[in-house]
Structure 1
Amino acid sequence: MKSISVTNKNLDYGIPVENIFWVANNIITKEKLRESQDEEVIADIVAWVATDDGLRSSSDILDQLYGFNINDLEEATLANHIELQIQKINEEILISNIQFVFDTLIDLINKTEAKNLNSLLFPGGQQSKISRYFQIIFYSLYQLLIIENLEIINTKELLRLMKGAGGKIITLAAGGGNWSQKEKQTQTDAFIGVIRKCFAEKKVKDNSRNHWITRFENLLMQSATEQTMYDFKVGLHSLSENSELNHETFSQIIKTLTAMANTQPGNLGYCILGVADSYQTAQRFNDLYNQTNLNYSNFFITGIQSEAIKYHSNLDKYFTKITQLIKQQPISDRDKDYISRNIKTIRYFEKDIIILQIESGNIPSIYDNKYYVRHGSNVQEVLPQNFGDLFIRFNS
């Protein structure tokens, strides 16, 4: 667990608290983060976007949302209402929408010189408490990007309008405690009115390729505690000049995916192309392609576009080659179909990543007439005398 725990910068493991979104942008202090104020903000956001009329923010509203100290039917109704609204929207869609807005905001902040939301909103001097300002920004982007299905067409102008918006465009009453629904709505409407000209109707409907920042980071952190279900490859070509596509490496990837699928029914396994499995591998890749990787926690993100361009002319042809190779693999038609339908290209900042995914079926997955399982990072063949245990896992 120490690899995903929040630590200070003097420790060589875990996630430094200074790097966490809320602290890095001076939205929430380190002390308030440890008191779970980030969870309170997320609860406010979920409740707001899940309802048509929005909600005020207060400790008693949070108690009701979480079902604490409910003594009468009226209070219980709020929790049930929010749950019902989430079901109507669909939980996965709601999560995806919220992450999409987070990713958009993160991308905007990284395009500024300050790379800090507090400094962007208050360039004359950072404020100590801006979680409510953050929420107004978030609600405004959610309205335009999700509810109205628009896209940003003028990033430069949008950032110009956001600069100094705290205390000028967004003017919140002083103090803490109860935060009225009316102030939330009026301030959101005011900010939307100012920035709307920077948005227009979407030309491309699918944003999954361009906005995967939060989801991708979640996958990386999950791999720290579920190593069996994750594998990372820097690419499909050997790290030497003018190397051919390594078919053995690709076959090993597919074999590994079938081994992940044999862990137990209902599991999801991932192989992620464009993330080095070590610092040394990342450096070799960087030297070969004359580029610099990105770091997230203990992960080295190289992307695969350099390899794709050098050997396949572009990313689309590289992607097509992978789909063709899947069809040639000695696996079941069910697994071929699932892997092919769920392969995706995502963008993490300026890095393109390819994710291969498999889900356990109703029976164990087979590779070249053999069954494999994965223990940690090791793939092992299931011997005939152990077939019974393997099939019992799925029959039960």
Structure 2
Amino acid sequence: MAILRKLDIRPESVESIYGYYRKKMLLVNRKYQRKLVWGIDEKEKFIDSIYNGLPIPLILVAVTKYKDSTVYEIIDGMQRLNAIVSFIQNEVHLGGKYFNLETLALTKALKDKGKIEQKEPKLSIEECLEITSYQLPFSISSYDKEADIEEIFRRINSYGKTLSSHELRQAGSTGTFTQIVRDLAENIRKDVSPSDKILLGNMRRISLSNRGLKYGIDLRDVFWHKQSILTENNIRASRDEEIIAHLVIAMLLDYDINISSTSLDRAYGLSDDNEENIDTSELIKRYGGPEFIKLQFESIFQEIQNTLDAYKFNFRTLLFREPSKYMNNAFQAIFLSFHNLLVKEQLKIDNYRELNKELNGIGDKYITPHIEEIRHRAARKRVIDSISGVLRKHFSKREETDPALSNGVVKLESLLSASKTENSSYDFKQGFYQMDKENKNIKEKVLRTLCSFVNLGRNAVGYVVIGVADTKHMASQFEKYYGEKSLQFNDFFINGIDAECQKRYKSLDEYRTKFEQLVRSSDIQPEYYKSQILKNIDLFTYRDKSVMILKIESKDDPLKLNGKFYHRQGTSTEEVPSSSERELWGLFLK
């Protein structure tokens, strides 16, 4: 089936192009278009080509609808179209002279209204007419669906060298991984737009400009340039997105991947051998979803930013006393070291200033000696371990739950693995309701079990995990009852609480609140255990499933629930007979 429904190639004057711009008819789709990156030199050279009558490449647009108006979506030629607008609006010049606003009725009217200011010296009207009458090759296409426009863009740019290798990756893939990288990059560069589709006039406001232009984002203020990690040209070529892509895939694969163009091609699903491509959609789902990944990435990034801001050194001068050209690899090593400490080890930074001091010269000592091999996974892992070891003394255990820095996969799998060695301190429930005709609410039973862990003695710790079945029979019963499969880890089956929540509650918040209400209404003595239970309710995402962990730690006293003591007998919860209460108190004697 043909992608193209209609094609009309015709000449359009520069004057007409500017008219389309003023009528808000030129639309940019950021889903596949790269940034506005031409600087003053590129724009002036392009205008010079027009003035001298040199041929220029075809400008390709597609007819589409935007906010109930018919517009031209730019497929190829965005930089050229923007250069024309910049010249006519006196933002760039030709040979030291600016466009004469008296040349066109439209520009004269804009000048008279004070919307455009005439700069001096200016070209003659005759010289300007040479430019505005120039006929550009303009191709107007029609398509049945938006995906066809994206496909044409990818094909056009895959044949040329106008885009960098990473821009071609971004243009060649429109999946979730691509969107995560794009969103993170825009947030860091600060060129965020409310939607992917944006008029060229608004696109200019978030373009990456240099100091000679009064609009857009000054590249000198972008994090990557300010920290001397990337040059202006690097950022224009999307090397920042390349770094982010490497980091995201490293997070998803637990650092077990090389830093290479081949690795990125596999992550974007662009490998020549389809079997080599990485199923990033599944990895993203398992990690906790795109929003969680972006939140966690930005949280780590902010902690790095906070550390750098503690003293006014930039990244390069802080890490390296000697010149280094491998700043992108160095940043990845530091980022993943922070990820290791903040997420994997669940630590928090104690003092940003002291941590900043510790980073002073760390690149010379731990990164430079391995710089030739740091692109390989094993060498990078050694560097991460070394840097983590040096920085760890400025971190401490995080007591409070931080959803952005909590890795649900690491958390749950670590707990499940630990339960195999001390099963009397763990209990697993597929949910708060039995899966039978009675559908009995077992919240009170869960609370009794949780409280019983305290009565194992001083300093005992107990967990009840809601959303996990510890037998295959229970997992099969769950699938039969709710019609959803569980995820297996070792001998456990993670079914999550989402299906039960959807059946019986309005939201996960209500699911949690109902248990909190039970705790508050129960007579728990001493009272401090009640506060501890409420504080330690941890609701998080494991891959694509919601899981709740209830935790309790014994202190100086045994716990009495609604006037009774309970204790664990193997994997069962039983009431402590009055004849054994003295023995129970003996477990708490100092």
TM-score (norm 1): 0.51
Distance 1:283 1:364 in 2: 38
Task: Tell me which residue corresponds to 2:528.
Answer: 334
In the alignment, structure 1 segments of 5+ residues that lack a partner are 1-102, 127-139, 151-168, 172-178, 192-204
Q: Is the 8 A contact 1:286 1:292 kept in 2?
A: yes
Distance 2:540 2:249 in 1: 17
1:242-281 to 2 correspondences below 5 Å? 246-247=440-441, 249-281=442-474
Distance 1:282 1:269 in 2: 23
Counterpart AA for 1:355: I
- Of residues 560, 565, 575, the one that matches 1:366 is 560
State the Cα distance separating 1:340 from its structure 2 match.
0.9
Matched, 1:181 2:366: yes
SS in 2 for 1:353: strand
State the Cα distance separating 1:216 from its structure 2 match.
1.5
Counterpart AA for 1:335: Y
Task: Tell me which residue corresponds to 1:321.
Answer: 514
1:95-174 to 2 correspondences below 5 Å? 108-109=252-253, 117=257, 120=263, 144=301, 146-148=303-305
RMSD: 4.0
Task: Tell me which residue corresponds to 1:229.
Answer: 425
SS in 1 for 2:558: coil
State the Cα distance separating 1:301 from its structure 2 match.
0.2
State the Cα distance separating 1:182 from its structure 2 match.
3.9
SS in 2 for 1:228: helix
Task: Tell me which residue corresponds to 1:199.
Answer: none
Distance 1:363 1:269 in 2: 15
Distance 2:434 2:365 in 1: 59
SS in 2 for 1:394: coil
Counterpart AA for 1:318: Y
CA spacing shift, 1:142–1:180, aligned 2, 3 Å: farther
CA spacing shift, 1:372–1:292, aligned 2, 3 Å: same
Distance 2:464 2:531 in 1: 16
1:238-281 per-position Cα deviation (integer Å, ceiling 9, x unaligned): 2147x65x34x211111111211111111211100000121111
Distance 2:521 2:566 in 1: 19
SS in 2 for 1:148: helix
CA spacing shift, 1:240–1:149, aligned 2, 3 Å: farther
Task: Tell me which residue corresponds to 2:580.
Answer: 386
CA spacing shift, 1:106–1:350, aligned 2, 3 Å: farther
Q: Is the 8 A contact 1:104 1:211 kept in 2?
A: no
Distance 1:104 1:395 in 2: 51
Q: Is the 8 A contact 1:170 1:187 kept in 2?
A: no
SS in 2 for 1:231: strand
Q: Is the 8 A contact 2:501 2:511 kept in 1?
A: yes
Greater RCO structure (CA 8 Å; 6+ sep)? 1
Distance 1:364 1:324 in 2: 22
SS in 1 for 2:548: strand
Task: Tell me which residue corresponds to 2:493.
Answer: 300
CA spacing shift, 1:363–1:143, aligned 2, 3 Å: closer
In the alignment, structure 2 segments of 5+ residues that lack a partner are 1-246, 277-296, 308-327, 331-363, 377-400
Say how many residue pairs are matched.
237
Distance 2:523 2:250 in 1: 42
Q: Is the 8 A contact 1:107 1:349 kept in 2?
A: no
Q: Is the 8 A contact 1:304 1:351 kept in 2?
A: yes
TM-score (norm 2): 0.36
Q: Percent identity?
A: 28
State the Cα distance separating 1:376 from its structure 2 match.
2.0
CA spacing shift, 1:149–1:256, aligned 2, 3 Å: farther
Distance 2:443 2:476 in 1: 22
Greater C-alpha radius of gyration: 2
Task: Tell me which residue corresponds to 1:207.
Answer: 403
State the Cα distance separating 1:380 from its structure 2 match.
2.7
Distance 1:189 1:277 in 2: 41
Task: Tell me which residue corresponds to 1:355.
Answer: 549
1:203-226 per-position Cα deviation (integer Å, ceiling 9, x unaligned): xx9435862221221111111111
SS in 1 for 2:503: helix
